[in-house]
Copies of this chain bind each other. A is one copy, B any other.
Amino acid sequence: MTQDIRAYIKQVGKAARAASRTIAAAPTGQKSAALQAIGVAVEALRDEIKTANALDMGNASERGIDQPLIDRLLLDDRGIDQMIEGLLQVDALQDPVGEVTDLSYRPSGIQVGKMRVPLGVIAMIYESRPNVTVDAAALSLKSGNACILRGGSEAFYSNQVIAEAISRGLSEAGLPEGCVHWIETTDRDAVGEILKLNDCVDVIVPRGGKSLIERISRETTITVIKHLDGICHAYIDAEAEAQMAVDIAVNSKTEKFAVCNAIETLLVHRDRAEELLPTLAERFQEAGVELRGCERSRGVVPMLEATEADWYEEYLGPILAVKIVDDFAGAVDHINRYGSQHTETIVTSNYQRGREFMAQVDSSSVMINASTQFADGFEYGLGAEVGISTDKIHARGPVGLQGLTSQKYVVFGNGEVRHR
């Protein structure tokens, strides 16, 4: 059986590599036709998708899977509408492939620039949400990449019908079905085999829990665009405007709790603690947020005690750690020590302090006077998002179509030869 899986995944890898050449050269219009045709096919298969999804939901309940996972599994009419809407949104984005930049003449006479090109083959490994199957396929197609999609076993039947819709759309547009390979097995060995496809896969994008992402990073030498923790901070500087400071701190935590760009720790300059902490405590209480403070914070407002472990914690829920710092340097030290290099904001009206924060904080998004909850691909204007990378290599922060491409050098000459 394992031998069969190995052979199957190897064959998928080769077929994806072959199809990647076709999709890389596909004109914008053909990719657009495919995205629209997939939308039409999803609509045509709406009832089948709902039936398959009901089967997945039933199996999940029987197996006693957690309620949050089951919630993410649900594909109702609204979810299917959103899948179709997502396809049209990706279709509307500018085609990144072939964009030439930085074209300039060199002393030798040649003109050198960079052309944006697809990476080749992208493998996406994800859990529960079946809508990722369509999202990932759409982003791969638009960026000229072939893809291998390995969804969670709990969404198997939903994904099977969605994969059928994708095949129909591709074939409608005259593109090889091999541009999108959905892995047709729930065998757990399949992931391990995908991680070994060094010759056929250019990048792996895992979407799921931290343990999945850690396992993938550990077990493959293929590049992984990964998103681990989001331990984000807001720092209220000595010279912050009071109202702005409170609004940004509250919004950075409460606009949504279970998102990676929500703050987990609030840092307050000691000169502003007595003035601002009472108001902040009131606002957070209204929003149902439990505060856990350092000793000094608890001297100003009663709250639970924060232990060392709290500074490392990604609550992803209505809990916020609070710390009073002596100065700007103390805030930066705390962030660089405990943070996960995801997103941090400073509230300040001091020019120099803002510049220093931008330069000294080593996170994928660094903000001045704005809510950390803005850190996503849509708010940044990327149009769509594969995920948020907490790595520094290749792509950092929200990853859009550009993160699924590379740049090659292009040289336009008039017969120049080199003489050293």
A interface residues (Cβ-Cβ under 8 A, vs B): 21, 24-25, 98, 104, 106, 108, 110, 112, 115, 117, 119-120, 202-203, 217-218, 220-221, 223, 241, 243-244, 247-248, 250-252, 255-256, 336, 345, 358-360, 362-371, 373-375, 379-381, 392-394, 396-398, 406-420
Cross-chain pairs A/B with CB under 8 angstroms, 25 sampled = A21-B362, A104-B381, A106-B379, A115-B366, A117-B362, A218-B221, A220-B221, A223-B394, A241-B415, A243-B415, A251-B417, A255-B418, A362-B408, A363-B408, A364-B408, A365-B409, A366-B408, A367-B411, A367-B413, A369-B412, A369-B413, A369-B414, A371-B413, A374-B416, A380-B409
Contacts of A368 in B (CB 8 A): 411-413
In the assembled complex, the Cα of A409 lies from the Cα of B248 at a distance in Å of: 18
Contacts of A365 in B (CB 8 A): 408-411
Candidates B220, B358, B373, B407; contact of A396 at CB < 8 Å: B407
In the assembled complex, the Cα of A287 lies from the Cα of B412 at a distance in Å of: 26
| Distance (whole angstroms) from the CB of A219 to the closest CB of chain B | 8
Is A379 a contact partner of B418 (Cβ separation < 8 A)?
yes
Is A409 a contact partner of B397 (Cβ separation < 8 A)?
yes
Contacts of A247 in B (CB 8 A): 415, 417
Q: A117-B362, A364-B408, A370-B413 are in contact. List 7 more A-B contacts (CB 8 A).
A: A117-B392, A120-B392, A251-B418, A358-B410, A362-B408, A392-B406, A396-B406
Q: A223-B393, A364-B408 in contact; A381/B112 too (CB < 8 A)? A: yes
Give the number of times this chain occurs in the complex, counting copies.
2
Candidates B398, B409, B419; contact of A366 at CB < 8 Å: B409
Candidates B115, B202, B398, B418; contact of A374 at CB < 8 Å: B418
Q: A112-B380, A119-B392, A374-B108 in contact; A366/B248 too (CB < 8 A)? A: no
Contacts of A255 in B (CB 8 A): 417-420
Candidates B98, B203, B380; contact of A106 at CB < 8 Å: B380
In the assembled complex, the Cα of A203 lies from the Cα of B391 at a distance in Å of: 11
Is B379 a contact partner of A408 (Cβ separation < 8 A)?
no
| Distance (whole angstroms) from the CB of A245 to the closest CB of chain B | 9
- Chain B residue nearest to A356 (CB atoms) is B25
Contacts of A369 in B (CB 8 A): 412-416
| Distance (whole angstroms) from the CB of A155 to the closest CB of chain B | 25
- Chain B residue nearest to A355 (CB atoms) is B98
Contacts of A397 in B (CB 8 A): 408-409
